[in-house]
Amino acid sequence: MSEMLNTLEQTALSEYKYGWVTDIEADEAPPGLNEDIVRFISAKKNEPEWMLEWRLKAYRHWLKMSEPEWANVKYPKVDYNAIKYYSAPKQKKTLNSLDEVDPELRATFEKLGISLDEQKRLSNVAVDAVIDSVSIATTFKKELAELGIIFCSMSEAVQEHPELIKKWLGSVVPMTDNYFSALNSAVFSDGSFCYIPKGVKSPMELSTYFRINAENTGQFERTLIVAEEGSFVSYLEGCTAPMRDENQLHAAVVEIVALDNAEVKYSTVQNWYPGDKEGKGGIYNFVTKRGICAGVNSKISWTQVETGSAVTWKYPSVILKGDNSQGEFYSVAVTNNHQQADTGTKMMHIGKNTRSRIVSKGISAGFSQNSYRGLVQVGKNAVNARNFSQCDSLLLGDKCGAHTFPYIEVKNSTAQVEHEATTSKIGEDQIFYCNQRGLDTETAVALIINGFAKEVMNQLPMEFAVEAQKLLAISLEGSVG
Amino acid sequence: MLSIKNLQARIEEKEILKGINLDIKPGEVHAIMGPNGSGKSTLASVLAGRADYEVTAGSVEFLGKDLLELSPEDRAREGVFLAFQYPIEMPGVSTTNFVKTAVNEIRKYRGEEPMDAVAFLKLMKERMKLVNIDQALLSRSLNEGFSGGEKKRNEIFQMAMLEPKLAILDETDSGLDIDALRIVAEGVNKLKSKDNATLVITHYQRLLDYIVPDYVHILYKGRIVKTGGKELALELEEKGYDFIKEELGEEVESPL
Ligand SMILES: Nc1ncnc2c1ncn2[C@@H]1O[C@H](COP(=O)(O)OP(=O)(O)O)[C@@H](O)[C@H]1O
Ligand SMILES: [Mg+2]
């Protein structure tokens, strides 16, 4: 096409508005990884012996593994010995209340739009904030405790609820699952733990915000959500990082367990620093997220809006073990400039009458590569399993790429698996139509993108949806002239 | 309000407009008629600022401004509205949301506050009646799966919401049955005032029974070759476009 697409190619990077660095003294491990570092992390956290043993086992396993290469992404090899595996913001003493949180840190969270202020009850979101590697504060703890809901940092859970951690940690994503899950199991520094007792519906959204701050630090958080029989929880995860020239590694593990009739809704707005417009810097986001619908009639729903990171490699999945259980995956992945995303899901149908729904919307601009990779597996006992997958790609310009890799493995003849895929381009006609109604091109693109992603955005809780809409617009700013 | 002088434009090296002269004053309705391919849509697109077309000569003044210097969105914000011959689809974007965005972008340009939801809905309800369009249609994705008639009515609804100074209707009548045609025409008539003007582009005389023009121009091979009153449209209908060719002394192709 004509002029517009030429300007499209002259993609200018939008300002990454979360790119500041907080000046906080950190308590760090030296770079590099060996058993001593694992011991150091465990000791820092005052962990019981069983936890250290678990970590060491994972570390020893990791040593025998090699980094996977099958994803449709290219990046220079990570030097695992150049990374610092532990960096905690230095705090003078143990905190008795939120008021004692370092004012610098509080300011950080305020910039992120997260209020740690328990007075702001209106927002009705309980927040666990993780900076670099350590959980800083969890809000609404008391209110949640009255219902028997446990929502705390992983370190605290190891101390306070060892029986639950021993039972569930690694039960969905075994330490040996893959290279990054093994690494995470060895060196995870913190994360959130969330336990919803039998029959309890969480009255508020539970939310964790992650931020990488220190330089050359890997962030390896670990999230575990257990929903007992008949319970419900909606969980939100948000992430940002400062602008750095060096790539930083983020390798998290999230595990979800839903027992009989339980439902977990997990929403992510991922906005890690994507690198500059030449592709320098940015976060490597290699995440393992998996849930198990262990009980009958249980449901796990993943919703993700992925706008950040230089390289994203992530497949939130659901094991549909309980009969009549349901898994959902709703995803919007935006890539611009030199970003690369290889993301999708795995739906493993094991129980009878299990259903899954996949809605993936990929938006590519600049020189970016955006891949959907999905596996729908129907086991031999999964009678009447149903899957519906919809994968749509939208291209802005002609230097970017969209790829779809759907894999289907069916071992039961009663299964119904449907897959639909479309690829479209934002047309000059659409933009001109909008221009003619008084919308400038940026506004037009934002409108078209949000329309394209609507089915996924509708899945997000209200307070997240607005933020996510803005993010979509921001991450594509300057990608259309 | 609009003054076009010797406007020439081309696309991909092909000369399409070869010197258009046209003056439109507030309160007037002008009709442009002409056979297919004569350049009617091109004229509309050039006025609206479509980038594909290159203006090679001439000038266009709109309300004292050099229209050709303005971006397409600024032309719209200044009050130029084009009802498209082929309205495009916007999956996932409702008409309501789209029009709300448009209304507020135009208000912003004028230094006005965005319209609040209540005022917007009130205005919308009122304007919906003008073109007999219902809420359900406006909640659907813009033009997606709309019938030809619904698309055209939707264009006029948007026009009613945006209150342009100059409305250009590009073959808004094509594809409409007689009832829909009447509804659309009545809508346009109700929006007419002494301050705004309408440029109706059409292939057929039919629409002009309902939207009565002050002037009729015949566009032929990129030039306005004849201008007259509303009778000219009737004459054209009666004699067919061949009569223009005869008048111009061109050879009329045999229908055989
Ligand atoms: N994108 C284009 N590329 C090449 N020629 C075009 C293009 N658009 C229109 N034309 C040509 O310009 C001429 C005028 O077209 P148009 O303005 O659409 O006529 P009308 O609206 O009067 O039917 C036609 O010969 C048409 O083929
Ligand atoms: Mg035309």
Q: What is the ipTM of this complex?
A: 0.95
Decide if B162 touches A, using CB distance below 8 A: yes
> Taking the CA atoms of chain B, what radius of gyration do you get in angstroms?
18
Helix (H) or strand (E) holding A163: helix A162-168
Quote the Cα angle for B26-B31-B34, to 5°.
150
What is the sign, positive or negative, of the torsion defined by CA atoms of A29, A40, A310, A478? negative
Tokens of B50: 């479509």
Tokens of B33: 């008629």
Query: How many Å lie between the alpha carbon of A1 and the closest alpha carbon of chain B?
Result: 9
| pLDDT tens readout for residues B50-69 | 999 999 999 999 999 999 99
What are the two backbone dihedrals, phi and then psi, of residue B199, each rounded to the nearest 5 degrees? -115, 110
Inter-CA distances, B53 with A2, A121, B41, B42, Å: 10, 56, 11, 8
Locate the DSSP E strands across A36-167. Answer: 87-89, 125-131, 134-138, 150-153
Query: How many Å lie between the alpha carbon of A454 and the closest alpha carbon of chain B?
Result: 6
Nearest-10 crossing angle of helices A35-44, A179-187: 50
Report whether pLDDT(B140) > 60.
yes
Best mutation target, A434, A441, A455, to test chain B (most B CBs within 10 A): A434
Cα distance between residue A315 and residue A331, in whole Å = 10
Written as one string, the DSSP assignment of B55-73 is EEEEEEEETTEEGGGS-HH
pLDDT at res. A4: 35
In chain A the first and final C-alpha atoms are separated, in Å, by 13
Instruction: Residue B105: name the closest of B81, B80, B74 by CA.
Output: B74
Q: pLDDT-based confidence at B95, cuts 50/70/90?
A: very high
Cβ neighbours for B123, distance < 8 A, ≥ 6 positions apart: B115, B161
State CA A378 to chain mean position distance: 26
Decide if B141 touches A, using CB distance below 8 A: yes
Across the interface, do A447 and B52 touch by the CB < 8 Å criterion? no
| B96 Cβ inside 6 Å of ligand 1 | no
- DSSP-based three-state secondary structure for B253: coil
Inter-CA distances, A144 with A101, A196, B53, B137, Å: 21, 10, 63, 44
Across the interface, do A3 and B51 touch by the CB < 8 Å criterion? yes
| B41 Cβ inside 6 Å of ligand 1 | yes
Going from the Cα of B15 to the center of ligand 1, the distance in angstroms, rounded, reads 10
Tokens of B153: 């009515």
Across the interface, do B51 and A2 touch by the CB < 8 Å criterion? yes
Task: Write the DSSP symbol of residue A397.
Answer: S
Ligand 1 pocket test, pick from B7, B8, B11 with the greatest ligand atom count within 8 Å of Cβ, gives B11
pLDDT at res. A336: 84
Smallest Cβ distance to B92: which of A4, A438, A452? A452
Decide if A458 touches B, using CB distance below 8 A: no
Instruction: Residue A42: name the closest of A183, A162, A189, A164 by CA.
Output: A189
Tokens of A139: 């809000």
Low-confidence ranges of chain A (pLDDT < 50): 1-16, 19-24, 92-96, 115-124, 481
Going from the Cα of B35 to the center of ligand 2, the distance in angstroms, rounded, reads 9
Query: How many Å lie between the alpha carbon of B242 and the closest alpha carbon of chain A?
Result: 34
Tell me the one-letter amino acid at A409: E
Q: pLDDT-based confidence at B251, cuts 50/70/90?
A: low
How long a stretch of residues is chain A? 481
Query: Locate tokens 């409702």: which residue?
Result: B94
pLDDT at res. A87: 73
Cα distance between residue A221 and residue A191, in whole Å = 5
Helix (H) or strand (E) holding A179: helix A179-187
Smallest Cβ distance to A439: which of B52, B88, B102? B102
User: Which residues does chain B have within 8 Å of residue A439's beta carbon, measured at their own beta carbons?
Assistant: 73, 101-102, 105
Atom of ligand 1 nearest to the CA of B38: 22
Q: Is B165:B79 a contact under the CB 8 Å cutoff?
A: yes
Across the interface, do A432 and B105 touch by the CB < 8 Å criterion? no
Query: How many Å lie between the alpha carbon of A238 and the closest alpha carbon of chain B?
Result: 25
Cα distance between residue A260 and residue A245, in whole Å = 47
Tokens of A440: 């400038």
Going from the Cα of B86 to the center of ligand 2, the distance in angstroms, rounded, reads 9
Instruction: Residue B80: name the closest of B52, B117, B106 by CA.
Output: B106
Query: Locate tokens 């500041």: which residue?
Result: A20
Contacts A–B by Cβ distance under 8 A: 77
User: Which residues does chain B have within 8 Å of residue A3's beta carbon, measured at their own beta carbons?
Assistant: 51
Average pLDDT over residues B90-104: 94
Instruction: Residue B175: name the closest of B83, B79, B93 by CA.
Output: B83
| B42 Cβ inside 6 Å of ligand 1 | yes
Q: Is A242:A213 a contact under the CB 8 Å cutoff?
A: yes
Written as one string, the DSSP assignment of B155-179 is HHHHHHHH--SEEEEESTTTT--HH
Cα distance between residue A166 and residue A198, in whole Å = 19
Query: Locate tokens 């929403």: which residue?
Result: A267
Pairing verdict, β A232-240 and A263-271: parallel
pTM of the model: 0.81
Across the interface, do A450 and B92 touch by the CB < 8 Å criterion? yes
User: Which residues does chain A have within 8 Å of residue B54's beta carbon, measured at their own beta carbons?
Assistant: none
In chain B the first and final C-alpha atoms are separated, in Å, by 45
Written as one string, the DSSP assignment of B76-90 is HHHTEEEE-SSPPPE
Ligand 1 pocket test, pick from B7, B20, B36, B41 with the greatest ligand atom count within 8 Å of Cβ, gives B41
Inter-CA distances, A104 with A23, A100, A207, A244, B140, Å: 7, 11, 21, 20, 47
Q: Is B50:B17 a contact under the CB 8 Å cutoff?
A: no
Going from the Cα of A396 to the center of ligand 2, the distance in angstroms, rounded, reads 28
pLDDT at res. A117: 47
Question: Which protein residue's CA is at the shortest distance from atom 18 of ligand 1?
Answer: B41
Across the interface, do A440 and B73 touch by the CB < 8 Å criterion? yes
Instruction: Residue A253: name the closest of A184, A313, A199 by CA.
Output: A184
Tokens of A83: 């990374």
Query: How many Å lie between the alpha carbon of B150 and the closest alpha carbon of chain A?
Result: 17
Across the interface, do B82 and A447 touch by the CB < 8 Å criterion? no
Decide if A443 touches B, using CB distance below 8 A: yes
Closest chain B residue to the Cα of A426, Cα to Cα: B90
Inter-CA distances, B79 with B47, B58, B205, Å: 12, 21, 27
Average pLDDT over residues B144-158: 92
